[in-house]
Amino acid sequence: MGIVLLDSKTLGEDLDLTPLLKFGELSTFATTSSYETIKRIEDAKIVITNKVVITKEMMQQAPNLKLICIAATGMNNVDLEAARELDITVKNVCGYSTSSVVQHTFSMALSLIGKLSYYKNAVKGGAWSDSGLFTDISHPFAEIAGKKWGIIGLGTIGKEVAKVAEVFGATIEYYSTSGNNKINDYHHCELDELFTTCDIVSIHCPLNEQTKNLINSSNLTHLKEGAILLNLGRGGIINEDDLAEEFNKREIYAGLDVFAKEPIDKENPLMHLNNPERLLMTPHIAWASIEARKKLLEGIVENIQTFLEE
C-alpha cells in the first residue's frame, strides 16, 4: 500500500513517524510545491497533508487514491466536494492542540501585560545595572486579576481560555461569530461592546465568510486604550493593514500567531511599526507543542486504521 506524506517538515523533524510504517510503504517529503503534488500522489492509496493543497485535478490523476488524511483540523486545503464525487474519504484530526493553543495564548498575554520584552532588555542591556536601584518600575505593568477578558469564538479552545482566565481573576465576555452560540455561562455581547469594555481580547474562531476581515478599521477604533488583542485563530480575521494603522495612532498591544499570508511578508506593515515593542508575533506555533504533535500523529494513525477496518 502506498502512503505519501507531502509536508513532513511542518510536523517537525523530532516527530517519530514509524507508527505509519505498519500500514505499508511510506514515502515522505519535507515539503511539496503545487507543481510537484500530482507526481508524488499519482500512485498513492493514502495521502497525508498538513498544508499542501489537493485539488480535483490532482485527485483525478491519482486513480488509486482512497484516503486523504489532513494533519490538522482545518480542511480548506482539500477540495471536499471533488473528493465526495470521486469517492475519496477525507479525514482530519480535532482536539489535539487545545492545551497547546491555550498555553500559548497566556504566554502572549503574560508577556505583553507584564512588559517582559522591556524588562528582559533592561537587564541584558545593562540599563538596570547602571540605574543603581534594586528594582526597575519605569514601565508599569498590570495584573490579569480584575480585568475583563473578551473571547471571540467560544468553542472548545475559547472555553478553555475562559476557564484559565477566570483562575487568574478575570471576568469573561464573549462574541459569537456565528450568532448561534448565545447561551453560555458567560455574558454575550456584540463586537463593538466587547472592544469597548474588555482589557484583553483573544480570537479563537475559524476563518470563514463571517470572520474574514472581521477586525478592521471600523471596529479597531473601539478597542480600549492600552488593551491587548490576541489572534490565535486564523490569519485573515484581522485586517493587518488596518491594525498597523491603528497601532501607529495610539497605545494598544497585540499578540499575533497567525497571519493572512504565512510566512509573513517582510513588507507587511506590521513589520514596520513605530512602536514594535507593543507587538508580539510568533510564526504560527500555538498548535505545535511536542505533546500536541504527538497527539496529531496518533489521530492520523487512528484515522487510517479506522478507514482500513471499514
Q: What's the chain's Rg over C-alpha atoms?
A: 22
pLDDT tens-digit profile of 149-168?
Answer: 999 999 999 999 999 999 99
Q: Are residues 55 and 106 in the same domain?
A: no
List 40, 104, 204, 234, catalytic entry: 234
Residue 23 gets which letter from DSSP?
A: G
* Known catalytic residue at 234: yes
Tell me how many domains the chain contains: 2
Q: Are residues 53 and 114 in the same domain?
A: no
In whole angstroms, what is the distance from residue 26 CA to residue 4 CA? Answer: 6
Which pLDDT does position 179 carry in this prediction? 85
pLDDT tens-digit profile of 17-65?
Answer: 999 999 999 999 999 999 999 999 999 999 999 999 999 999 999 999 9
* Known catalytic residue at 293: no
* Known catalytic residue at 262: yes
Q: Are residues 163 and 231 in the same domain?
A: yes
Q: Are residues 152 and 67 in the same domain?
A: no
b/e map 29-67, b = 16+ CB within 10 Å: beebeeeebbebbeebbbbbbbbbebeeebbeebeebbb
Q: Are residues 6 and 84 in the same domain?
A: yes
Q: Are residues 19 and 151 in the same domain?
A: no
DSSP string, 243-260: HHHHHTTS--EEEES--S
Q: Are residues 135 and 41 in the same domain?
A: no
Q: Residue 267 sits in which domain range?
A: 98-281
In whole angstroms, what is the distance from residue 54 CA to residue 164 CA? Answer: 38
Which pLDDT does position 310 carry in this prediction? 87
Q: Are residues 214 and 156 in the same domain?
A: yes
CATH of the domain at 45: 3.40.50.720
List 57, 262, 277, 291, catalytic entry: 262
Write the CB contacts of 51 (distance below 8 Å, at least 6 apart in sequence): 7, 10, 72, 77
